């Protein structure tokens, strides 16, 4: 439903701006270059691409799905299919964002591009349905990440601190406490930023970069140990 809605929104937005040629209306020429290099420079463009790649490779929920896979073959096949779908679907948000800029170049916050199209361009009923679908997809992704955080706290940190797993009668209670702590911490991080790109960049530079290096070294370097993993996670937090 969400994919179909995004595709429909992109089609209607294209019609509204007059086709692909209308997407660049009022847009600086450098913004349409590869990775926007002519607009923001080579280093910032490559840095943003690297940030997104590291964020995907280091996401804990993805790793948990790998561990829960039936076999290595099924995991590889599922991630290959997912990657192809992501690659194809990534075009849709770009069209939506560019169309919004063409239709409303004065939009102060680019994070409101989706709500703007849903409420101003699309039919009211369909727009509201897409807003609800988008919210449900966001909550679904958030719940997966929250579950990953709870699993880490209960199965890793708790065991590391106590030397044993929680008893059966305490698992639910501890999981609820861990869930509240995880969501509360995520909320504090979100409140500290008012821009999605800035938030992603900060989170990846301070947290996921260490997880990425730890995962890569743990996979390809046999001498990598737990002391090195802790150092890898702590060092990105230190100011330069």
The answer on pLDDT for 155 being more than 70 is yes
Closest alpha carbon to 218 in 66, 50, 105? 66
Domain, as residue range, for 5: 1-41+61-122
The CB density around residue 210, as the number of other CB atoms within 10 Å, is 21
SS3 content of the chain, % helix, strand, coil (to 5): 85, 0, 15
Tens of pLDDT, residue by residue over 198-220, are 776 677 667 777 788 888 888 88
CA–CA gap between residue 102 and residue 25 (Å, rounded): 5
Tens of pLDDT, residue by residue over 75-106, are 888 888 888 887 877 788 888 888 888 888 77
pTM, two decimal places? 0.61
Residue 47, domain member (yes or no): no
How many domains is the chain partitioned into structurally? 1
Residue 48, domain member (yes or no): no
Residue 74, domain member (yes or no): yes
Residue 154, domain member (yes or no): no
- The chain-wide mean pLDDT, for the chain, equals 78
Residue with tokens 């150092």: 231
Residue 75, domain member (yes or no): yes
Residue with tokens 């699993």: 151
In sequence order, what are the residues at sequence separation of 6 or more whose Cβ sits closer than 8 angstroms to the Cβ of residue 67? none
| Torsion sign, CA atoms 175, 177, 183, 185 | negative
* ∠ Cα 222 228 231 (to 5°): 155
The answer on pLDDT for 133 being more than 80 is no
What's residue 212's pLDDT?
Answer: 83
Residue 224, domain member (yes or no): no
Tens of pLDDT, residue by residue over 135-153, are 777 777 778 778 878 888 8
What's residue 205's pLDDT?
Answer: 67
Split at pLDDT 50, 70, 90, the class of 31 is low
Split at pLDDT 50, 70, 90, the class of 1 is low
* Mean local confidence (pLDDT), 14-33: 74
Question: Could you tell me if 94 and 9 are in contact, meaning their C-beta atoms sit under 8 angstroms apart?
Answer: no
The answer on pLDDT for 9 being more than 60 is yes
* ∠ Cα 13 18 20 (to 5°): 80
Residue 28, domain member (yes or no): yes
- Residue 82 Cα distances to 18, 35, 58, 238, angstroms: 32, 22, 16, 35
């Amino acid at each position: 439903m969400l994919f179909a809605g995004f595709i429909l929104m992109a089609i209607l937005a294209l019609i509204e701006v007059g086709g692909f040629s209308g997407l660049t209306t009022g847009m600086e020429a450098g913004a349409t270059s590869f990775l926007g290099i002519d607009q923001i420079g080579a280093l910032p463009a490559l840095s943003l691409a690297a940030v997104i790649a590291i964020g995907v490779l280091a996401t804990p929920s993805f790793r948990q799905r790998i561990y829960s896979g039936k076999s290595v073959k099924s995991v590889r096949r599922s991630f290959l299919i997912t990657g192809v779908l992501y690659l194809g679907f990534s075009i849709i948000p770009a069209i939506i964002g560019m169309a919004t800029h063409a239709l409303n170049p004065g939009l102060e916050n680019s994070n409101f591009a989706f709500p703007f199209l849903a409420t101003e361009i699309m039919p009211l009923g369909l727009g509201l349905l897409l807003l609800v679908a988008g919210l449900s997809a966001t909550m679904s992704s958030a719940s997966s990440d929250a579950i990953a955080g709870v699993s880490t706290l209960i199965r890793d940190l708790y065991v590391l601190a106590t030397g044993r797993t929680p008893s059966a009668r305490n698992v639910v209670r501890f999981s609820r406490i861990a869930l509240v702590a995880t969501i509360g911490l995520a909320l504090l991080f979100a409140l500290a930023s008012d821009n999605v790109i800035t938030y992603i960049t900060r989170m990846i530079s301070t947290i996921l970069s260490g997880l990425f290096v730890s995962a890569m070294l743990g996979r390809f370097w046999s001498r990598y140990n737990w002391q090195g993993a802790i150092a890898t996670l702590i060092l990105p937090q230190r100011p330069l």
